[in-house]
Amino acid sequence: MTVILDRAPVPPATLLLREAHLLDPRAGLDGPGDVLVRAGQIVAIGEPGTLEAPADGEVVEAQKLHAFPAFVDPHVHLRTPGQEYKEDIETGTRAAAAGGFCAILAMPNTQPVVDNASIVQSLREIAETQARVPTGFTAAVTVGQKGEHLTEAADLAAAGAAGLTDDGLPIRSANVMRQALQYQRLAGLTIALHEEDPTLSAGGVMHEGDVSALLGVAGIPSVSESVMVARDCDLAAYEDGRIHIQHVSARATVEIIERAKAAGVKVTAEATPHHLLLSDEAVRTLDTGKKMNPPLRSEDDRQAIIDGVRSGALDTIATDHAPHARDEKEQPFEDAPLGVTGLETAFAAVHTDLVVPGVLDLGLVVQRMTAGGEPFGLHVPTLAGGRPADICLVDLDAEWQVGEAGYESRSANCAFHGRTLTGRVRMTVAAGAVAFRERTFAIGAVN
Amino acid sequence: MKRHLLSIDDLTREDIERILGRAESFAEVSGREIKKVPTLRGRTVINLFYEASTRTSSSFEIAAKRLSADLVTIKSAGSSVDKGESLKDTIQTLSAYDPAAIVFRSPAAGAAGLVARWTQASVINAGDGKREHPTQALLDLYTLRRHRRNLDGLKIWIVGDVLHSRVARSNILAFTRMGCRVTVCGPPTLIPRGVEALGCDVSATLDGSQDADVIYALRMQHERMTGSFVPSLREYAAQYQINARRLGAGQLLMHPGPVNRGVELSAEVIDSPQALITEQVQSGVVVRMAVLYELLAGAPTSTEAPIHPEPQPA
């Protein structure tokens, strides 16, 4: 079954990217070149300066820019329906486009929960008028995310749900998890998992460690994640199911996933930019902008996440973009809601702290940031002829301060708010149409 | 010294010495028939308590009144907090009265620090969740110093529910800052993982406590006794209760109150001359006078200090 993503109708682009540095490890590209997009399709990739400008399109002088295949984020909270004061499909997908994403998957922990086909259908209809980039909607594994009864997964799949997840909550019962995996043989949707043993994490608001001991706030131990990942890898192996582990935060989890993959379990996993860049030291000031679940963990855990992304144990970088209103975050740490936004900063943050210092290779980061749809059966964007154009143009030298000009997102609870980052998305082409163009980015249009 | 007292970490050893010295001079005032000085005349102190408190709230009230401050005490029950007003809005409302100080207790860690960002008043943390209770630590140091002039190298055992205790955290920081050696002791279920990072040792049993100069027992809260933290009250008392047999002849005994008689302390030690528990309560007033004095006296009557820069929106 092919998952279909939805977005508002936009004219397909015809444009020439001239002399950009093309970087796409999957396509074997790493050097200057021209890309010609006609009617939304990449029709030619050539040596720099060799491709003819299209008579009916625009020319983007991209000499100082990098062109990557655009990114795919499998983990975004669009807050629709029910919490549109935090984000909606229009603002959330605008943020995605600004971050260089050409496709995203929305999480179903809305109000009401996306747990039946009619909600999926209505969300797809809204996306058809509002979404700036192709958007897929995941549905809940269990009705109301209560962890008790399975949702009508076959009906959901027929309605176009992109995957199943109770994200925000774990599936407490091992038996319900097992049944979901059995039912997957019928419905076919990948199950994405927020892993947390609620009896171990109960009451916790940050990573359990030296910092939580000092602050006197209840901790969420790293084992609360890893014991559930171990359980679900075993269940997936037993039922031959396909699972995707969301926002991996702990070293032990990375090690379990490595072992499961080596044993042939169909498991994929994601890491977030905030878990890659920050540790629980960032919570020392009880800044609610650093509160999320799973929490920022120890420096040792962070290093393991970086190693996991490098080795491929963690397949993709996902944002877990989780918008909250300002007044909700302006509360004492223990009372503030969980989550940070990240679509607009994901690439720049990883580039600044991990690529520039030489910790991760740029090409590898591009590979991981484009791979987010793969666990759900979406195609992986690549710079190749004959494909709909999914391209982001990035100025790797541009410095900018996060939030200096506000956000495309409706919310401002970015984990990197106020930081100076290096690397700025100038333009995003998603499924053949221009989805984002930075305001200051001069375009040399020919007509 | 900083404009607020949010954590013992805000204080240098010199700051602490100065506050304790000031408290001693206020003790002299407290011995007079008219126990009042005009230091804070015309200044307003707001006591804002979002959590039940008897001794901390009352001793701040008495301290402010003895310094001649105008005092308003607000408890969350019946206030606009109950009507759903956000903390920020409440603080901005109260700040419109131009208070010199807000004494704040909250069930949430870091709440006093947030208040400090939203007001021009000096903020005194009177307990923020399970995080800190700095004036309790100061009054404990003051009390202890009256019996042991030199705190350097003093061995102190803090016994009981460290996990849920803001007193424990502030006292570990305060005692170690003054050169004491602190060991925390209690059921392993009630000792926070990583507590060694505060600079203390950890012991699961009372073995070795005989060498301590001071035993500081913590209150065992009733709600902790019912969970799975301890199997039973009986077992807790059997393992950790400080009684006549366990309290050494030269050891001092402290407790932040209120005491559960027969649980963390036996009746005979509570009433023994080694127990400083009543004295701790007495010290509360003069130490809180000293803290108010430190933060407010000398500062301009209408604070011209800039509001702390707006925190990041987060």
Interface test with B, best of A201, A207, A214 (most B CBs within 10 A): A214
Q: Does A332 contact B132 at a Cβ distance shorter than 8 Å?
A: no
Rounded Cα distance, A35 and A42, in Å: 7
Q: What is the largest CA-CA distance in chain B?
A: 57
Q: Where along chain B do the CATH 3.40.50.1370 domains lie?
A: 8-133+281-296, 148-275
3-state secondary structure chain B: CCCCECCHHHCCHHHHHHHHHHHHHHHHHHCCCCCCCCCCCCCEEEEEECCCCCHHHHHHHHHHHHCCCEEEEEECCCCCCCCCCCHHHHHHHHHCCCCCEEEEEECCCCHHHHHHHHCCCEEEEEEECCCECHHHHHHHHHHHHCCCCCCCCCEEEEECCCCCCHHHHHHHHHHHHCCCEEEEECCHHHCCCCHHHHCCEEECCCCCHHHCCEEEECCCCHHHHHCCCCCCHHHHHHHHCECCCCCCCCCEEECCCCCCECCCECHHHHCCCCECHHHHHHHHHHHHHHHHHHHHCCCCCCCCCCCCCCCCCC
Q: Domain B8-133+281-296: what homologous superfamily?
A: Aspartate/ornithine carbamoyltransferase (3.40.50.1370)
3-state secondary structure A144-164: HHCCCCECCHHHHHHHCCCCE
State the pLDDT at residue B304: 43
Rounded Cα distance, B165 and B133, in Å: 9
Name the residue of chain B whose CA is nearest to A213's CA.
B195
Q: What is the CATH number of domain A70-376?
A: 3.20.20.140
Structure tokens at B84: 């759903």
Q: Does B108 contact A332 at a Cβ distance shorter than 8 Å?
A: yes
A192 has a pLDDT exceeding 70: yes
Mean pLDDT of A245-265: 98
Which has the minimum average pLDDT: A332-336, A420-424, B28-32, B250-254?
Answer: B28-32
The one catalytic residue among A320, A353, A390, A395: A320
B60 has a pLDDT exceeding 80: yes
Tell me the CATH architecture of domain B148-275. Answer: 3-Layer(aba) Sandwich (3.40)
Name chain B contacts of A221, Cβ cutoff 8 Å.
193
Rounded Cα distance, B132 and A288, in Å: 18
Q: How confident is the model at residue B31 (pLDDT cuts 50, 70, 90)?
A: confident
The answer to whether the beta carbons of residues A153 and A182 sit under 8 Å apart is no
User: Does residue A234 have an active-site annotation?
Assistant: no
Residue with tokens 């302390």: B265
DSSP alpha helices (H): ranges in A324-431? Answer: 326-329, 346-350, 362-370
Domain A15-67+387-406+419-437 belongs in CATH node 2.30.40.10: yes
State the pLDDT at residue A386: 86
Q: What is the SS3 assignment for A117?
A: helix
The answer to whether the beta carbons of residues A222 and A247 sit under 8 Å apart is no
Structure tokens at A115: 């747990």
Q: Does B86 contact A286 at a Cβ distance shorter than 8 Å?
A: no
Structure tokens at A19: 């002399």
The answer to whether the beta carbons of residues A427 and A441 sit under 8 Å apart is yes
Q: What is the SS3 assignment for A143?
A: helix
Rounded Cα distance, B105 and B251, in Å: 32
Interface test with B, best of A330, A413, A416 (most B CBs within 10 A): A330
Name the residue of chain B whose CA is nearest to A404's CA.
B312
B103-146 residue pLDDT tens: 999 999 999 999 999 999 999 999 999 999 999 999 999 999 99
Name chain B contacts of A417, Cβ cutoff 8 Å.
312-314
The predicted complex's ipTM stands at 0.88
Residue with tokens 């028939």: B33
Which pTM value belongs to this model?
0.92
Q: How confident is the model at residue B54 (pLDDT cuts 50, 70, 90)?
A: confident
Sorted by where each begins, the domain ranges of chain A are: 15-67+387-406+419-437, 70-376
A129-143 residue pLDDT tens: 999 999 999 999 999
